[in-house]
Structure formats: C-alpha cells, structure tokens
Amino acid sequence: MTLKILVRSEKKKKQLQMEKRGVIDTWIDKHRSIYTAATRHAFVVSIRDGSVDLSSFRTWLGQDYLFVRGFVPFVASVLIRAGKESGESSDMEVVLGGMASLNGEIEWFKTEASKWDVDFSTVVPQKANQEYLRFLEALMSNEVKYSVMMTAFWATEAVYQESFAHCLEDGNKTPVELTGACHRWGNDGFKQYCSSVKSIAERCLENASGEALAEAEDVLVRVLEYEVAFWEMSRGGD
C-alpha cells in the first residue's frame, strides 16, 4: 500500500513539473533530437568554430532574404489573428513589435548583400525555401487554430535566436565579418522577444483541445524539420 502511494505521488510530482515547465518545453524534450539538429546544425557550429565556408554563408544570405520577404505575410496574418482572437491586447503588441523589426531586417540583408557581393535580383528560391514558405502559407488559413499558428511563429523565431546566440557564447571563434549576423538574432532583446512569443503560445495551449494540442505539436516538429532543411540547403545540400 505504501509503495502504491509513493508511485502515485511520484507520478503526480512529475505531472506538476511538466505543467510548470509548459507544454512547449515538454515537446522539446520529447523531440530533442530534431530540436538539437535545428539549433546546433553543422552550419551554425561551423560559424561558431570559424570553419564556415563563406560561399555557404552567401547562399544562406540570399535564400534567407527571400525567406524573410515571404515570412512577412505570415507574421501579418498572425498579427490579424492576435487582434481578433487572443483576448489579450499584449499579444498584438508583441507581434506588432516583431512585424516592425522585419523592415529593419530586410534593410540589414540589403546592406550585407553589398558587402558580400550578393545580387538578390538573381537569387532563385531553392526547394527547401519554397517548401518552408508554402508550409507557412498553409498556416495562414482561418481554419488553423490560433494556438497552432502561435506555436509555429515561436518556433521559427526561436531556432534563429538559439542558433546565433550559440555563435556568441564564450569560447566562440566566429569570424568577425559574421558577428553582425549573429548579433542580429542572438542578442538579448531578441531573446526576450522570443520569450514573450513563447508565453503567448503557452497560454493558448493551456486551454487548447486535445486535437489542437496534437496539431500544434506536429507543426512544431515540422518547423524544426524545415529549419534543418534550410541549413542543409545553405551548405549546398539542396
């Protein structure tokens, strides 16, 4: 009898810990392999250890510029849904802040292009880029639940934040000419922004149906898979 009580108590304790940590963190633990593949990809590691092939960086620069331009309509859709469905005015303010920063991001890409001699007008979106953007476009449907959309939004932002922050951590050998890119997404301000987006997603998931939770988990994994494919493309894998 005592053993059964202890087992139940331990299960209850683990359940409470999972609830405290949040649904997303629980999913990350569950899918740790693909999460690590996305946030510690060989392309990212090569930037951190200084071995990056600069032609790969140029490929990434051109493809990510196209991606960001395609990402804008998705974020605009998230903003509209936040205004209509969230019930929290702060949601719209957080997303609006992210939306506003995209203009500066696009200008940053243009400045970098001139430094790296990349002509964006000649860059053609590769398969991994096209498929990722088609996936995000599908999430803009009104049939996609707000909690699912917010989970995807957080994941796309968080992968870059964790990846480039890693390139700035102690012991890095990141080439000086690439530190600007790393600071763009690896800075503390962007980390705080990602944390705010995550909080919104977590709040939505707390009250989500079982069906919505399953959809959100699937979308999280698919975003991570698309991120891995994007890094691979940058290294010449597409």
User: Active-site positions?
Assistant: 227
Q: How far apart are CA 63 and CA 113, in angstroms?
A: 11
Query: Which of these, 200, 196, 201, lies nearest to 151 by C-alpha position?
Result: 201
Amino acid at 152: A
CA neighbor of 176 nearest in space, from 188, 167, 165: 167
For residue 206, which phi and psi values (nearest 5 degrees)? -60, -35
Cα–Cα distance, 174 to 29 (Å, whole number):
28
| C-alpha to C-alpha distance for 208 and 216, rounded to whole angstroms | 10
Q: Report the alpha-carbon distance of residue 77 to residue 137 in Å, rounded.
A: 9
